[in-house]
């Protein structure tokens, strides 16, 4: 069923629809914003992974520590 789901002409139709909807002037700005968002997402995911890797192992049954913002 999904074997022929994404053929080259499907991609062409999607690209044409995007160009018609957004126009050629807004496409570079949209692509730039999408690229920035993806970079931020990747860096945040990497930071979360590093935080989990560097965190000491807590004993089983210990609730996670929270930050007290009232101080």
Q: What is the mean pLDDT of residues 2-22?
A: 83
Fill in the DSSP letter of residue 68: -
pTM strictly above 0.85? no
Question: Which of the pair, 2 or 45, is modelled with greater confidence?
Answer: 45
For Cα atoms 27, 7, 19, give the angle at the middle one, nearest 5 degrees.
15
Distance CA 19, CA 67 (A): 46
pLDDT score for 71 = 57
Say which residues have a Cβ less than 8 Å from residue 19's Cβ, sequence separation at least 6.
27
pLDDT score for 41 = 95
Q: Could you read off the pLDDT of 43-68 as tens digits, one per residue?
A: 999 999 888 777 666 566 666 667 76
Q: Could you read off the pLDDT of 13-31 as tens digits, one per residue?
A: 998 998 888 887 888 888 8
């Amino acid at each position: 069923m999904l074997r022929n789901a994404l053929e080259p002409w499907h991609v062409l139709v999607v690209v044409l629809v995007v160009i018609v909807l957004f126009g050629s002037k807004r496409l570079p700005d949209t692509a730039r914003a999408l690229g920035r968002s993806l970079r931020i997402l990747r860096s945040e995911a990497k930071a979360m992974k590093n935080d989990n890797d560097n965190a000491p192992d807590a004993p089983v049954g210990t609730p996670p520590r929270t930050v007290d913002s009232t101080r």
